[in-house]
Amino acid sequence: MPVKSSEITPEKVFKRRRTLIAAGLGVLAVPLLDRGYGLLQQKPDEVNEPFAPVSAQLGRQSQPLTPTPYETVTGYNNYYEFGYSKDDPAKAAKTLMTSPWSVEIGGEGANKPGFYDIEEIKGEHAIENHVYRFRCVEAWSMVIPWNGIKLSDIINAAQPNSKAKFVRFTTLNDAQQMPNADWAGGPYVEGLTIEEAMNPLTLLATGIYDQPLEQQNGAPIRLVVPWKYGFKYAKSIVKIELVEQMPQNTWWLQNKREYGFYANVNPRFDHPRWTQATERVIGELGRKPTLLYNGYADEVGHMYPDLDNRLYFY
């Protein structure tokens, strides 16, 4: 559903957001400088109000979602292959060639492996609109109107067999086009369980605000998993594999103590260096309580029976 102009944040608020953005820190970058579990005191944001009691934080938010303005969604990014600052990707990623583009589907769990042209993916499957909250592990959040297809459409087309227990995503890693291609020592990789991948909320996004994705947002195709922290949203995907073993993911490889495989949003489990109980909503003043599974508990809670199992939440 297209976003109405009345839903866009007023200019005054947006200008203030610019100031906040200018002050932003690339906290995820810190572990790179300190792969041996840092003695780091840095916090992503100062917490300037008391935390709400846990019971209050777990409720579903009743307020309607107000999409974050296009300029902010496309100007405040994490895409380290193009630099560590939030404004680097918008400046440096313009040279990324996103057409032609094909995505390889394979792995031992796919009976029908193959290559899909991006236009084929868009053409064969309905492009849906989904306005989702986006919660970064750095404790800030946005609301993004995505266009895309359900990941389950692509998985079904690959005819999964009994070995398809996990899905592994590999993204483009091209030093010719990406000034910081080697930051993680290889391509950015991510993974989901097959159940998570087949959940109707999980998308392969090809656009936002009814426009094709810009390079800094992961053009031409990226993962969207709204109940998980933002680092799960692998950008510029070139390969999707249905596999039997749990895949390793880039941030876990960078720092096993701080980033895991599941990475479900949960206000009860803090990141080792900062709280996850609250978040800074980009463009708003103060902080808001973070919601269990980023507000999608009804849709995804059944996949995680043990709410106290820390494994699921980092």
By rule CB under 6 A, what string of x and - marks binding of each residue 200-229 to ligand MTE? -----------------xx-----------
Q: Which is nearer to ligand MTE, 9 or 236 (CB)?
A: 236
Q: How far apart are CA 271 and CA 294, in angstroms?
A: 15
Q: Which residue has the tokens 């479900």?
A: 264
Q: Which is nearer to ligand MTE, 132 or 233 (CB)?
A: 233
Asked if 88 is part of the footprint of ligand MTE (rule: CB under 6 A), the reply reads no
User: Which positions from 104 through 143 interact with ligand MTE, judged by CB under 6 A?
Assistant: 136
Q: Exactly one of 116, 132, 166, 231 binds ligand MTE (CB under 6 A); which one? A: 231
Judged by CB under 6 A, how many residues of this single chain contact ligand MTE? 17
Q: Which is nearer to ligand MTE, 58 or 139 (CB)?
A: 139
Asked if 181 is part of the footprint of ligand MTE (rule: CB under 6 A), the reply reads no
Give bridge partners of residue 130 from the DSSP assignment. 146
Nearest Cα to Cα of residue 158 among 201, 202, 115, 97 = 115
How many angstroms separate the Cα of 53 from the Cα of each of 278, 290, 295, 313? 11, 11, 17, 19
Residues 6+ apart with CB under 8 A from 181: 81, 173, 174, 175
State in angstroms the smallest separation of the CB of 233 from ligand MTE. 5
Q: Exactly one of 3, 9, 27, 28 binds ligand MTE (CB under 6 A); which one? A: 28
How many angstroms separate the Cα of 101 from the Cα of each of 90, 135, 158? 20, 28, 18
Q: Which is nearer to ligand MTE, 78 or 202 (CB)?
A: 78
| Token pair in block for residue 151 | 């990941």
Question: Which region, left, alpha or beta, applies to residue 204 given φ > 0 means left and ψ of -120 to 50 means alpha?
Answer: beta
Nearest-CB residue to ligand MTE? 230
Q: How far apart are CA 307 and CA 196, in angstroms?
A: 16
Q: Choose one: 35-43, 96-104, 232-240, 267-275; the region binding ligand MTE (CB under 6 A).
A: 232-240
By rule CB under 6 A, what string of x and - marks binding of each residue 57-86 to ligand MTE? --------------------xxxxx-----
Exposed e or buried b per residue across 111-121, where buried means at least 16 C-beta atoms within 10 angstroms of its C-beta: eeeeebebeeb
Q: Which is nearer to ligand MTE, 105 or 224 (CB)?
A: 224
State in angstroms the smallest separation of the CB of 5 from ligand MTE. 22
Q: Exactly one of 84, 188, 227, 314 binds ligand MTE (CB under 6 A); which one? A: 188
**Computed over its alpha carbons, how large is the radius of gyration of the chain?**
19
